[in-house]
């Protein structure tokens, strides 16, 4: 009995040490919102201008040049100061509809991802920012770091799962959220809001499934190889088929076909009975190459 009690005590101590060392790390923004920030709206213009400057045509980011420019780092912090001060929760009048609210969370997430890379430059992957005792890959970056959205601190994992996925239930967000990695969707310089956000989501979905790195039909081996994103968020994609009343006999392939251009649909139609595989996720940084 004493042996069992001893094991329980040790387990509790180990768990307590793990939680203590991996306690949340709040990231504070020491800046003010842009001087021309609107009084009754929320503007992403400052972030958009930076993306236009540092994102190439393939959606990769020149983190090295961004890090080297003190003024650009300051401009990013100024935008994030607005994200940290205002949110749909504490300033609902600034976000009149679901598109405005979704844009806030999508673009704020992406901005904090970029800031984390720039502030910790040079790194080879976001997984380099580890927790003191890391149980799973990416824990330090996606769970331990906490970022301010309207004065409330959230992990990136919390923003994605508890807010964006739960509240908006649109799987196309997985083609816009960017985790600064090669297997993520490309970073997009344009940050539309309002009705234009729907067009962005539609184009992002089409572009993602049109990339052979994300959807490959291998006729020689009778396989369809998908991005791991489809595996991780399978339920989101299948629920969307159900919500839209679309066929789901082929599961994920029916979702891919529903957002794909004709050429990809044709390839999938010719892949009847093929085995479904998932490509290994590439966590290397989505940085521009010289």
Q: Report the alpha-carbon distance of residue 279 to residue 211 in Å, rounded.
A: 13
Percent of the chain exceeding pLDDT 90 equals: 89
What's 225's DSSP letter? E
pLDDT band at 21 (very low <50, low <70, confident <90, very high): low
Task: Express each pLDDT in 65-111 by its tens digit.
Answer: 999 999 999 999 999 999 999 999 999 999 999 999 999 999 999 99
- Residue 160 near residue 108, CB atoms below 8 Å: no
pLDDT band at 132 (very low <50, low <70, confident <90, very high): confident
Backbone angles phi, psi at 269, to 5 degrees: -65, -30
Radius of gyration from C-alpha coordinates of the chain: 21
pLDDT at 17 over 90: no
pLDDT at 19 over 70: no
Q: Report the alpha-carbon distance of residue 261 to residue 153 in Å, rounded.
A: 39
Query: Vertex 259, ends 255 and 264: CA angle to 5°?
Result: 90
Task: Express each pLDDT in 272-288 by its tens digit.
Answer: 999 999 999 999 999 99
Q: Are strands 275-279 and 223-227 parallel, antiparallel or unpaired?
A: parallel
Confidence (pLDDT) at 136: 87
Confidence (pLDDT) at 239: 98
Confidence (pLDDT) at 4: 53
Q: Report the alpha-carbon distance of residue 247 to residue 29 in Å, rounded.
A: 47
Confidence (pLDDT) at 108: 98
Q: Is 4 strand, coil or helix? A: helix
pLDDT at 27 over 70: yes
Query: Vertex 217, ends 244 and 204: CA angle to 5°?
Result: 45
The half-sphere exposure of 256 on its side-chain side, counting CA atoms within 13 A, is 31
Task: Express each pLDDT in 158-180 by its tens digit.
Answer: 999 999 999 999 999 999 999 99
What is the residue whose two structure tokens read 């799962």?
161
Q: Report the alpha-carbon distance of residue 237 to residue 214 in Å, rounded.
A: 15
Q: Is 69 strand, coil or helix? A: coil
29: left (phi over 0), alpha (psi -120 to 50) or beta: beta
Q: What is the mean pLDDT of the chain?
A: 94
Confidence (pLDDT) at 134: 84
The burial of 43, by beta-carbon neighbours within 10 Å (0-12 exposed, 13-18 middle, 19 or more buried), is given as middle
The token pair that represents 5 in the structure block: 């009690």
Confidence (pLDDT) at 133: 86
| Sheet containing strand 25-27, strands side by side | 25-27, 145-149, 152-154
Cβ contacts of 13-19, under 8 Å, gap ≥ 24: 17/133, 18/133, 18/135
pLDDT at 6 over 80: no
Helices assigned H by DSSP within the chain: 2-21, 45-54, 63-68, 70-85, 98-119, 139, 156-158, 166-168, 196-210, 228-232, 234-243, 252-259, 262-269
Task: Express each pLDDT in 46-65 by its tens digit.
Answer: 999 999 999 999 999 999 99
pLDDT at 181 over 90: yes
pLDDT at 13 over 50: no
What's 282's DSSP letter? -
**Once rounded to an integer, what is the mean pLDDT over residues 142-166?**
98
Q: Report the alpha-carbon distance of residue 21 to residue 12 in Å, rounded.
A: 14
What angle do helix axes 196-210 and 98-119 make, rounded to 10 degrees? 50
């Amino acid at each position: 009995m004493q042996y069992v009690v001893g094991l329980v005590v040790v387990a509790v101590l180990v768990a307590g040490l793990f939680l203590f060392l991996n306690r949340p790390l709040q990231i504070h923004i020491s800046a003010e919102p842009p001087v021309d920030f609107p009084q009754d709206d929320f503007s992403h213009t400052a972030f958009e201008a930076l993306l236009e400057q540092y994102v190439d045509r393939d959606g990769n980011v020149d983190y090295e040049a961004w890090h080297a420019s003190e003024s650009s780092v300051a401009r990013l912090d100024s935008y994030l100061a607005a994200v940290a001060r205002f949110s749909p929760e504490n300033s609902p009048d600034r976000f009149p509809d679901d598109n405005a609210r979704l844009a806030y969370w999508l673009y704020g997430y992406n901005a904090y991802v970029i800031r984390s890379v720039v502030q910790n430059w040079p790194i080879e992957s976001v997984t380099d920012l580890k927790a003191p005792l890391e149980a799973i890959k990416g824990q330090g970056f996606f769970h331990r770091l906490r970022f301010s959205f309207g004065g409330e601190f959230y992990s990136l994992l919390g923003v994605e799962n508890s807010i964006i996925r739960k509240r908006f239930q649109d799987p196309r967000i997985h083609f816009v959220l960017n985790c600064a990695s090669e297997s993520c969707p490309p970073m997009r310089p344009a940050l539309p809001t309002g009705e234009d956000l729907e067009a962005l989501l539609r184009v992002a979905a089409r572009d993602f499934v049109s990339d052979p790195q994300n959807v490959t039909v291998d006729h020689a081996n009778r396989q369809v190889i998908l991005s791991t994103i489809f595996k991780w968020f399978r339920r989101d994609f299948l629920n969307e088929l159900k919500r839209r009343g679309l066929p789901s006999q082929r599961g994920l392939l029916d979702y891919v076909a529903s957002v794909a251009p004709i050429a990809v649909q044709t390839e999938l139609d010719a892949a009847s009975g093929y085995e479904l595989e998932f490509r290994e996720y590439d966590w290397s940084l989505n940085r521009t190459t010289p």
